[in-house]
Chain A
Amino acid sequence: MTVLVAVGDSREGQAALDAAIAEAQKLNTGLVVLNLSLSPLQLPSIPDGLEVRTAERHGAEDRDPVDAVLDEIANDNAIERLVIGLKRRRPIGKAILGSISQRILLEAEIPILAVKVN
């Protein structure tokens, strides 16, 4: 079993990453960090013994971050849990850009841990 965390270029992304590290330790599993941002990821300090693999969005097939997450789940059978970060969005921003988290929540077929930032 492996935990997958989707980390975007935002505070909720960092919160998701912290929660995923804790979750992987609790479940005693490996962690896959999927970097949804467009620049290299700054990983926090990883606890000893935790096995971490990072994955990147690459090329036009990964242009949609939701596809990138779903593909990662489909390609790695060990992934049984997904961690994402959420934040409250203004209706206008949601109308223009859509909500990545909402689509992931509805489309992914594994249990999801959603964390919020205060």
Chain B
Amino acid sequence: MSHGTHSSIESHLPPDTKGPHTSRLGLIAVVATFGGLLFGYDTGVINGALEPMKADLGMSAQIEGFVVSILIFGAAIGALIGGKLSDLRGRRENILMLAVIFMIGTLGCVFAPSWEVLAVFRFILGLAVGGASATVPVYLAEIAPAERRGSLVTRNEVMIVSGQFAAFIINFIIFRIAGENSDVWRYMLVVAVLPAIALLVGMLRMPESPRWLVSQGRDDDALAVLKQVRSPERAAAEMAEVHLLAEEEKESQTGGVSDLAVRWIRRLILIGVGLGVFQQFTGINSVMYYGTQLLQDAGFSNNAAIAANTLNGLFSVLGITVGILVMNRIDRRKMLLGGFILTTTFHILVGLSAFLIPDGSPIKPYFILVFVVLFVFSMQATIGPLVWLMLAEIFPLKIRSFAIGICVFTLWIANAFVAFMFPPVVQTLGIAPTFFIFAGLGVLAILFITTQVPETRGKSLEELEDQFRAQYS
């Protein structure tokens, strides 16, 4: 989960020619990879580790939901604090600190003697996950040259789901090798230390963000950084752009709580909140966190479930890749509505398969698997990346920072809520009613989009603002 910075400034800069700085820029891409991978790995690793963990630590469905979701609650808080800290102390220092917290959190989980200790360290890990989600994409956007900015930020999104996919595959391999061992979940978790080390080592070689340096009045330092990562002519020319963007960022932090008194602004923020909440209420992350267990409940053996779960990861990556490719060619509203119609249809089909096909039938788990995978694919190809894009483009500049902060926070809380409720609800009601609930939420989402969400593709922010003010004041 991440959001890119949005800029209305057209740049007219000399092209960045090849030179010794090019390899340093290559390193930025590597750090991009590890920031996103780590994020995905840490959120996905629980999928597959959970079943042996439950057996080993004696966890009920309620405790299971608690242990899984506490990381997400931590992430909601981490995203708030992380954003503030990276403004205060700098992006680089913040990411270095986060990499260390990642390691502490991961190792604490690996060696946890009880679920209580595990929960504490998963909360700490969540703080780092949230902090990284608020800092890494910003850092990347600030240090990358304008022509590569967008692709680096979307690359980060692909890397997040790739990290989850990697976690599913590695969990599957470890389970094949050491599945009989009651500590197998600890081996799965410890692998997440590797991308954290890569992030730490990578960041140690990276410079501070020039835009942050300018916002601190350190122009000489900013120019020195630009000279490391751009050709000499380009570096000097880019200082003006960095100043403009730093100014724009300062401007984006103007609005706050008091501006909620204005009806059309309140309305826009509610739309953003609704988009984030409904994105999570598709239940995408119940598949990402509990996919293996879901497939076991559907009738697969332990071995087959953890293998089949890798398909969830694969189709998530494929989906988001397709989504990013088509995103700017289809109207936002159409794509959102199409997405929710597809996901709701597949929710109903999962529910019907679980409800109508008798338990013990060999085809039942396969039906459920196919529809879950199709759900994951259609979600990631539409609603997943699109909601992030819309959050970045619907708010007037002066309230953007505050508004996106609220939306991202509620999105995380909705994510945590679904993660918390999913295991006990599946245990009490079963798979079919759980997916019928998701389908019901999908219908609400369709109503919400039809009646509330404006079309934003191809409209300037000014046009959108005028339309909103006219409609709601």
Taking Cβ atoms with an 8 Å cutoff, the residues of A that contact B are 8-10, 37-39, 57-60, 62-65, 93, 97-98, 100
Once bound together, how far apart are the Cα atoms of A57 and B253, in whole Å?
Answer: 10
**Chain A's nearest CB lies how many Å from the CB of B276?**
21
State whether A97 touches B250 (Cβ < 8 A).
no
- B473: A residues at CB distance < 8 A: 9
Once bound together, how far apart are the Cα atoms of A65 and B399, in whole Å?
Answer: 13
- B303: A residues at CB distance < 8 A: none
- A65: B residues at CB distance < 8 A: 258
State whether B258 touches A38 (Cβ < 8 A).
no
B202 at the interface (CB under 8 A from A): no
State whether A39 touches B396 (Cβ < 8 A).
yes
- B256: A residues at CB distance < 8 A: 63-64
* Neighbour of A60 across the interface among B250, B259, B469, CB < 8 A: B250
State whether B262 touches A62 (Cβ < 8 A).
no
State whether A39 touches B465 (Cβ < 8 A).
yes
B227 at the interface (CB under 8 A from A): no
- List residues of B (213-260) whose CB comes within 8 Å of A's CBs: 250-251, 253-260
B372 at the interface (CB under 8 A from A): no
Once bound together, how far apart are the Cα atoms of A9 and B257, in whole Å?
Answer: 14
Once bound together, how far apart are the Cα atoms of A10 and B469, in whole Å?
Answer: 11
B314 at the interface (CB under 8 A from A): no
State whether A59 touches B396 (Cβ < 8 A).
no
Taking Cβ atoms with an 8 Å cutoff, the residues of B that contact A are 250-251, 253-262, 265, 396, 398-399, 402, 465, 469, 473
Judged by DSSP, the binding face of B is helix
**Chain B's nearest CB lies how many Å from the CB of A39?**
6
- A97: B residues at CB distance < 8 A: 257-258, 260-261
- A58: B residues at CB distance < 8 A: 250-251, 254
Once bound together, how far apart are the Cα atoms of A93 and B250, in whole Å?
Answer: 29
A-B CB contact pairs (8 Å), 28 listed? A9-B262, A9-B265, A9-B473, A10-B262, A37-B262, A38-B255, A38-B265, A39-B398, A57-B254, A57-B398, A58-B250, A58-B251, A58-B254, A59-B251, A59-B253, A60-B253, A60-B254, A63-B255, A63-B256, A63-B258, A63-B402, A65-B258, A97-B257, A97-B258, A97-B260, A97-B261, A98-B258, A100-B261
Once bound together, how far apart are the Cα atoms of A39 and B261, in whole Å?
Answer: 14
* Neighbour of B258 across the interface among A39, A59, A60, A64, CB < 8 A: A64
Please name the residue on chain A nearest to B260 by beta carbon. Answer: A97
- A38: B residues at CB distance < 8 A: 254-255, 259, 262, 265, 396, 398-399
Q: Which are the 8 A-B pairs with shortest beta-carbon distances?
A: A63-B256, A38-B398, A60-B253, A59-B250, A9-B262, A38-B255, A57-B254, A97-B261
Please name the residue on chain B nearest to A68 by beta carbon. Answer: B254
State whether B258 touches A62 (Cβ < 8 A).
no
Once bound together, how far apart are the Cα atoms of A12 and B292, in whole Å?
Answer: 58
**Chain B's nearest CB lies how many Å from the CB of A25?**
29
Judged by DSSP, the binding face of A is loop
Once bound together, how far apart are the Cα atoms of A60 and B254, in whole Å?
Answer: 5
Once bound together, how far apart are the Cα atoms of A65 and B251, in whole Å?
Answer: 14
Name which of A8, A39, A64 has the most chain B CB atoms within 10 A of its CB: A39
Name which of B251, B255, B258, B396 has the most chain A CB atoms within 10 A of its CB: B258
Please name the residue on chain A nearest to B399 by beta carbon. Answer: A38
* Neighbour of B253 across the interface among A10, A63, A64, CB < 8 A: A63
Please name the residue on chain A nearest to B253 by beta carbon. Answer: A60
* Neighbour of B254 across the interface among A10, A63, A100, CB < 8 A: A63
Once bound together, how far apart are the Cα atoms of A59 and B396, in whole Å?
Answer: 14
**Chain B's nearest CB lies how many Å from the CB of A65?**
5
Once bound together, how far apart are the Cα atoms of A12 and B423, in whole Å?
Answer: 52
Once bound together, how far apart are the Cα atoms of A57 and B397, in whole Å?
Answer: 12
**Chain A's nearest CB lies how many Å from the CB of B8?**
14
Once bound together, how far apart are the Cα atoms of A64 and B261, in whole Å?
Answer: 12
State whether B258 touches A100 (Cβ < 8 A).
yes
16 extra interface residue pairs, beta carbon distance < 8 Å, beyond A58-B254, A59-B251? A9-B262, A9-B265, A10-B261, A37-B262, A38-B254, A38-B398, A39-B465, A39-B469, A57-B398, A58-B250, A59-B253, A59-B254, A60-B254, A64-B256, A93-B261, A98-B258
**Chain A's nearest CB lies how many Å from the CB of B194?**
38
- B265: A residues at CB distance < 8 A: 9, 38
- A64: B residues at CB distance < 8 A: 256, 258
- B253: A residues at CB distance < 8 A: 59-60, 63
- A37: B residues at CB distance < 8 A: 262
Please name the residue on chain A nearest to B396 by beta carbon. Answer: A38
Once bound together, how far apart are the Cα atoms of A10 and B264, in whole Å?
Answer: 11
Once bound together, how far apart are the Cα atoms of A9 and B399, in whole Å?
Answer: 13
**Chain B's nearest CB lies how many Å from the CB of A59?**
4
**Chain B's nearest CB lies how many Å from the CB of A47?**
27
Name which of B256, B257, B259 has the most chain A CB atoms within 10 A of its CB: B259
Once bound together, how far apart are the Cα atoms of A63 and B401, in whole Å?
Answer: 11
Once bound together, how far apart are the Cα atoms of A57 and B402, in whole Å?
Answer: 15
- A98: B residues at CB distance < 8 A: 258
Name which of A58, A93, A98 has the most chain B CB atoms within 10 A of its CB: A58
Name which of A10, A60, A64 has the most chain B CB atoms within 10 A of its CB: A60
- B398: A residues at CB distance < 8 A: 38-39, 57
